Structure 1
Amino acid sequence: MCEFSKKSFSHYSKFLNHYNICQDPGNDKIVRIQLEKGNDQVKYCFIPTYSQDGGDKSIFIGEPRCLLISDSRKIHEIEFLKNRPSPKGSLPFSKFPIKGVLIIKDEVLDFLAPFKAPLPAPNAYLKCAEVLDLTGDDSYCLAFKEMGRYSLHSF
């Protein structure tokens, strides 16, 4: 079980500021999060990811879970789905363990090319993954990363 303090936070990122997060030791689909400073105007989206040990690249393995987080005293529990469709002939993504979470705000941003119009950040990330899977083109992912409006947390 996770142990969170109402007054101290164990993690920091430029995007989220201070936060607490942990994965349930008995169920990799359950994550608990607490933000020092929430935002009741925009949802935070959490996307389950997998990366090989020592690898610097991650893949998403399930749909985003989005919620409003405004109270820093509240601990939010998120239950992920491992429901990303797998390419034909590949190991199903549902077989991969969740080893991290990509955290982004559900806000419309004006990403660099090759994006052609402003797009909600979760959609931009999913577009990056789709194009990379289908064509091997990483330009959408590079534009997403360049914006820098996300936090990737490994467990």
Structure 2
Amino acid sequence: MEDADLKSQNSIKENEISSFIKSNQIGQICQVSQQLEQFSQLDDEKIVEEFKKCNKSNFIKNILNQFINFLTNHGDEVVIESLMTAEKDRDIVQIRKEFQNFIRGKKPNSTMLVSILKSKRFSSHFHYFLSYFSIDWIKTKHLKDRKNHLLCINYLNRCKNKHELIDRIIKYKKKL
């Protein structure tokens, strides 16, 4: 009799924990959507100002590492192939090889970011990643600072239509 009561109590606790986790995830998704909406309403000067504050930190590096992972390993192969408009007969293996050559010797930093944004071959892939996969990545990972990641994503999405924003990304050089 005691075993049945204990199992029943454990089952109730598991259901409560599961409900709590689900409601917490829904709350995080709503929070992400609200923050994206807030950033989309900022004018260009304000978002440039905010972006400069987080330009020195690891937010760009995190986003670039996720993009590299997306394009080289886990991205939707059909979409990646279809975004390669210049050479339609390229398969996923060739595209991934070209991308690996493109990033060879580069570190995931603002210099690499600018080269990807200005690239005729890979900028469309990057914007696709930002629009569809980066938000899912942010929702599923436990990032310490989601707000600044979302700010960077919003800024980089704006670079697609306003190329002058690309030139405002600060590229740092090592002091010798």
Do these two structures clear the TM 0.5 threshold for a shared fold by scoring above it? no
TM-score scaled to structure 1, two decimals?
A: 0.29
Q: Which has the larger radius of gyration?
A: 2
Higher strand share: 1
Higher helix share: 2
